[in-house]
Structure 1
Amino acid sequence: HTSVFTLLPVFLERRTSSPVHTLRVKMVLLGSSGVGKSSLALRFSKDEFRSTSPTVGCAYLTQLVHLGNSTLRFEIWDTAGEEKYHSVTPLYYRGAHVALLVYDITQRETFVRAQVWLKELEKQYIPGSTVIWLVGNKGDLAHDRQVPLEEGQSLASSRGLYFTETSALSGEQVTELLQSIAHRVFECIGAQQGGLTEWQEMPSVELQHRDSVNLFSSCCKVGP
């Protein structure tokens, strides 16, 4: 499927207000090192761009997307792309509702690598339980393109994936991508039995100081 952005309005929320219904969505970004996964995650979460170092293990960010009377709380897992971390990556994407397979449109080998990640995912997930999106990043470098737009679309169509090209640097199509993902997840998974679960903020714990109490008096005593 190619993504369609003619959808109902969606509002991104960065406040910590309490919505009527908040549903947890685990989203994982997979792909080779240097394709811009961390930059995309930062755009999703804070709508900003900055140079980042290679991710070690996994990084975690959040973002809220409002859909009518419900709010989706995206828990964004940005995985390391280096080969030495490959064996532990399944620990992070297991149970994900959304998987983004990210490649760099200027580096063909990253497109090939995205297909390897897809094969790994297909061993782990139950059809219908995960929305998988193929994302060609670095659209701002289209003059150095090695992977034609049509090739990305063709792969997505043949494997039943959604597809979008983005630019984490300029922000092009990043907000629209998150909006489209939110709709697809809510439509495909949200209503299923055992689908999205409700997120509740952990209550704060108030620590009380008691000047008159000696915490050690009941078990120990020092001195005569």
Structure 2
Amino acid sequence: SQASCLLHRFTEGRFPGPLHSDPTVGVDFFSRLVEIEPGKRIKLQLWDTAGQERFRSITRSYYRNSVGGLLVFDITNRRSFEHVKDWLEEAKMHVQPFQIVFLLVGHKCDLVSQREVTREEAEKLSSDCGMKYIETSAKDATNVEESFTILTRDIYELVKNGEISIQDGWEGVKSGFVPNVVHSSEEAVKPRRQCIC
């Protein structure tokens, strides 16, 4: 999936090839430290959730303990873009009463000639839904670091301002501030050959 490719690039510094192209089954776990300002490092726990309907009962349970999410669609696959609102509504329904911050990510921006979703309409959707928008490519590493850093900084500001607070029985923010970030991917929308992200 596109989220999986982003996570491999972000956490392992590489673009996953055919040997690492198996689709996400349920939830995959990743982790990495992010320096959001000099001397200020935050550990991210990253959950890559499968987009397929048959895994929904598994992935829904991860929303409640998350404070941030990348909603990832493929700019060369219009159907994946059309599913963004569905993912957003589902996540918001299962995360209540806690707040979750989302960043809309248009992936595969290196494939300009195959684009099916314009930047303008993606920016309009993100604005309508109260999200920021960024375009990425795991293949050439465009905006991969930036997407996670933007989301982490936004979460961190909400924590500092008290808009996201630690509550009993919630694992979204742990001691020392460790945000969980959940990813909804479009992998079920398009037939998979290999991870050409």
TM-score range, shorter chain: 0.7 to 0.9
Report the secondary structure of 1:132's partner residue: strand
Q: C-alpha distance in 1, partners of 2:54/2:142? A: 31
8 A contact 1:59–1:78 mirrored in 2 = yes
Q: C-alpha distance in 1, partners of 2:130/2:96? A: 14
Report the secondary structure of 1:61's partner residue: strand
Q: C-alpha distance in 2, partners of 1:175/1:166? A: 9
Q: After superposition, what is the alpha-carbon deviation per residue over 1:121-180, rounded to whole angstroms, capped at 9, x for unaligned? A: 221234872111111101111210111001110000011011111001111011111221
Quick check: which has more Rg, 1 or 2? Answer: 1
Residue 99 (structure 1) aligned to one of 37, 56, 69: 69
Match of 1:198 in 2: 175
Q: C-alpha distance in 2, partners of 1:128/1:151? A: 29
Report the secondary structure of 1:139's partner residue: coil
Match of 2:23 in 1: 54
State the AA in 1 paired with 2:155: V
Match of 1:150 in 2: 120
Question: Deviation of residue 69 (structure 1)?
Answer: 4.5
Match of 2:195 in 1: none
Match of 2:11 in 1: 45
Q: C-alpha distance in 1, partners of 2:50/2:161? A: 32
TM-score (norm 1): 0.69
State the AA in 1 paired with 2:175: E
State the AA in 1 paired with 2:22: S
Q: C-alpha distance in 1, partners of 2:27/2:155? A: 23
Q: CA RMSD in A?
A: 2.0
8 A contact 1:44–1:175 mirrored in 2 = yes
Structure with the larger RCO, 1 or 2 (CA within 8 Å, 6+ apart) = 2
Match of 1:65 in 2: 34
Q: C-alpha distance in 2, partners of 1:120/1:190? A: 27
State the AA in 2 paired with 1:194: I
8 A contact 2:63–2:95 mirrored in 1 = no
Identity %: 33
Report the secondary structure of 2:22's partner residue: coil
8 A contact 1:98–1:132 mirrored in 2 = yes
Report the secondary structure of 1:117's partner residue: helix
Question: Deviation of residue 83 (structure 1)?
Answer: 2.1
TM-score (norm 2): 0.77
Match of 1:125 in 2: 95
Q: C-alpha distance in 1, partners of 2:97/2:154? A: 14
8 A contact 1:128–1:188 mirrored in 2 = no
